[in-house]
Structure 1
Amino acid sequence: MSGWNIVIFGLTVSSSWGNGHATLWRGLLRALGDRGHRITFFEKDVQYYRDARDLTDLPGGGALRLYQDLASIRVEAQRALDDADVAIVTSYCPDGSAVAEMLLASKAGIKVFYDLDTPVTLRSLATGAHPEYLPSNGLAGFDLVLSYTGGRALTELQQRLGARNVAPLYGWVDPVQHHPVPAQDHYRCDLSYLGTYAPDRQPALDRLFLEPARTLPGCTFLIGGAQYPADFPWTSNLYFHRHVPPVAHPAFFSSSRWTLNITRQAMAEYGFCPSGRLFEAASCGTPLLSDHWEGLDTFLTPGEQIVLVDTAEDVVHALQLADAERDRIARQARERVLVEHTADARARTLEALLEQARPHAAPVLASAGIR
């Protein structure tokens, strides 16, 4: 499949502030553009992201279309969708339900919904709420439903939302942007954590980051991320960078002896939910500590390419491993990620799934093993 016209309506690609969508899209759009596809990305120009915009030109030569409201671009958007070989709408897309209805009514060749927040979607449905980004009648109208989360989440998308063809499109890294670089003193630390503040991650952050920081006063700990409250329990050996833009991620990770991955509670409960940050750190040659969730060993091998930690004692033990062991873990993780978990690898997967999802093609199999 080459030279397809792909139209995407998403949350944001222009601002990496406080969201996990933008960096992922940038890598995938670059990979798709390199493979000859033409991309138009529609993004609602909301102030929150406008005030922290760190990208104006899409990687891969695509077109970024910022709009104030759906009514103002309805004619243009309908024309773009009608001309599209592939049309995609994502979770948390502003006006997502209305956009989805436009997409489903269009002449687009392959109609796709991509849920980058599947556990949140399914949790909302379980409480009786219907997320605003979902069509009112579910997902049955789409030729393909992609999920950032695999495992049983795929079955639930079928059972709860009527999705006919479902498949995982997991997180990835763009090694063009994320690779080892010289350490920088203002990021140098023994253990780092990069992530937006989230209350449901705080118990694990307390146990796996703050408690080790108190236990090892001679070590340096660093948090990078937005939305941390003023009463966060800082310690004298714990440092903070309010926002680390994607361009600085390689320096952040490359300056860390270890970095910690903590998974949002809803994602961990479903499993098969690798964060893009997991692969970014590995691509930068930084050894990883992580909480455990089902399916993690599908992506990296515990003990060989990543170290799983449940307690503060586990973290302290890992930080005291010999440099040779630490370097071995980092090297093996990087080697695997550069083969299996890059934006280019996911672009190839997406192409294969789209080919399968062509109208009248065989159904896509819902399998957590598809990469």
Structure 2
Amino acid sequence: MTTSLDIVFLGLSLSSSWGNGHATTFRALLRGLAKEGHNILFLERDVPWYACKRDLPEPDFCKLAYYDDIQTMLDVHGSHILAADAVVIGSYVPFGVEIIDEIAALKPKRLCFYDIDTPVTLAKLNQGDEEYLAARQVSLFDTYFSFSGGGVLTTLERAYGAHRAIALYCSVDLDLYANTNEPFEWDLGYLGTYSPDRQPTLECMLIEPARRMPHLRFVVAGPQYPKHVDWPQNVARIEHLPPARHPSFYSRQRFTLNVTRADMVAAGWSPSVRLFEAAACGTPVISDYWRGLNEIFPDGRAIYIARQTEDVVSLLSRVDETERRLLAAAALNIVAQDHTGCARARQFAAALKNLPINVQPRQQPLRSIQA
């Protein structure tokens, strides 16, 4: 294999960050790969809910192509898929099970899965829910790249037959995320789409502190929150915040809140991209607890871990500006060393280069391909 890789991704979305965390995760990784000299084609199903809310319709770091159905995608891009050094299919891709079967039947040189939802995926498979990945398909991949590390990797290999499970955490592009030096507007903020399993923690860690501290200012940005949520008067709401506005949003907060989905708390070792984005912007993070968080950001030195409302109230009351800045600097240093898009791209490319090329005769796909 040459130094420069030709990689095809089939992912949920690159063009739109509306209601999903996949777009920003892919953008940081793919920008890093482009900086490292690799060539990328990203295939995205053209669906109306993303088509009308695209904030990156024409990326400058890869080729982005849309498709309407699987047959069209194979007809137009089948030859590229066969010639690529690696094909990477992501989680939550529409009709993912069918796409995986079709691509696997082509026998590409290297076939990988990038699960940006690993704990959710495993919970679904345990319940017999095969929305975008079937249990039988895990062993089809040369490598299963996982959003989560720790014991999840062992589970993937031992319980589901993954040939090789590797942690590939989210990352952040430091060229795009940095402090904007704007004055503070809020004491505590949160960025995230509504999720029923996250809402109790948001109530505990932000909404209730807002009620107890009416003299402070809070903000929640993200779509799909139900009308019945009782927002205190000192909590501002922003319906949707595109990635280009994230640095300004983080920079205007004294602290930002990280809330983790229940499946990811249970799995541990599942850092949200929001952790890295906020740290890159020099904003200290208050986070709920999960196993492995201390290994990435040491508690009290690079992050504040809170377990109840009183913890948040105490932090907002007692942490002075000197301590706040020191903690923010420590978190930024960790991100700059280990969690940038370029760092993740090098890790990803090295893993691909270590995989042997598939030399089995290529089988006909389940659908015919027009070369």
TM-score (norm. length: structure 2): 0.93
How far apart, in 2, do the equivalents of 1:283 and 1:327 lie? 13
Give RMSD over aligned pairs.
1.4
SS in 1 for 2:25: helix
2:32 is aligned to 31
Amino acid at match of 1:11: L
How far apart, in 1, do the equivalents of 2:25 and 2:255 lie? 22
Q: Give the CA deviation at 1:49.
A: 0.5
1:119 to 2:119 alignment: yes
Could you list the per-position Cα deviations for residues 196-254 of structure 1 after superposition, in whole angstroms to 9, with x for gaps in the alignment? 01110111111111111011000000000010111111111110000011000000000
How far apart, in 2, do the equivalents of 1:121 and 1:159 lie? 16
SS in 2 for 1:120: helix
Alignment of 1:1-371 (within 5 A): 2-60=3-61, 62-129=62-129, 131-135=130-134, 137-183=136-182, 188-320=185-317, 321-359=319-357
How far apart, in 1, do the equivalents of 2:128 and 2:7 lie? 33
Amino acid at match of 1:339: Q
Unaligned 5+ segments in structure 1 are 361-371
SS in 1 for 2:197: helix
SS in 2 for 1:266: helix
Could you list the per-position Cα deviations for residues 159-178 of structure 1 after superposition, in whole angstroms to 9, with x for gaps in the alignment? 34321111110111111111
How far apart, in 2, do the equivalents of 1:73 and 1:337 lie? 37
Could you list the per-position Cα deviations for residues 316-347 of structure 1 after superposition, in whole angstroms to 9, with x for gaps in the alignment? 11112111111111111111111111111100
Q: Give the CA deviation at 1:80.
A: 1.6
How far apart, in 2, do the equivalents of 1:287 and 1:333 lie? 8
How far apart, in 2, do the equivalents of 1:41 and 1:351 lie? 16
How many residues align? The count is: 356
How far apart, in 2, do the equivalents of 1:279 and 1:125 lie? 29
Q: Give the CA deviation at 1:41.
A: 0.4
Q: Give the CA deviation at 1:58.
A: 2.1
SS in 2 for 1:349: helix
Q: Is the 8 A contact 1:193 1:224 kept in 2?
A: yes
How far apart, in 2, do the equivalents of 1:16 and 1:182 lie? 25
SS in 2 for 1:105: helix
Unaligned 5+ segments in structure 2 are 359-371
SS in 1 for 2:354: helix
Q: Is the 8 A contact 2:36 2:346 kept in 1?
A: no
Q: Is the 8 A contact 1:208 1:311 kept in 2?
A: yes
SS in 2 for 1:23: helix
Q: Give the CA deviation at 1:138.
A: 2.2
Seen in structure 2, the aligned counterparts of structure 1 residues 127 and 135 have a Cα distance that, compared at 3 Å, is: closer
State the identity as a percent: 41
Amino acid at match of 1:242: E
Q: Give the CA deviation at 1:107.
A: 4.3
Amino acid at match of 1:55: L
SS in 2 for 1:99: helix
How far apart, in 2, do the equivalents of 1:50 and 1:325 lie? 44
TM-score (norm. length: structure 1): 0.93
Q: Is the 8 A contact 1:83 1:107 kept in 2?
A: no
Amino acid at match of 1:162: G
Q: Give the CA deviation at 1:135.
A: 4.4
Q: Is the 8 A contact 2:100 2:137 kept in 1?
A: no
1:365 is aligned to none
Seen in structure 2, the aligned counterparts of structure 1 residues 165 and 245 have a Cα distance that, compared at 3 Å, is: same
Amino acid at match of 1:82: L
How far apart, in 1, do the equivalents of 2:141 and 2:308 lie? 43
Misfit runs of 4+, over 3 Å: none
Q: Is the 8 A contact 2:125 2:135 kept in 1?
A: no
Seen in structure 2, the aligned counterparts of structure 1 residues 63 and 157 have a Cα distance that, compared at 3 Å, is: same
How far apart, in 2, do the equivalents of 1:92 and 1:277 lie? 19
Q: Is the 8 A contact 2:87 2:111 kept in 1?
A: yes
Greater RCO (Cα-Cα under 8 Å, separation 6 or more)? 2
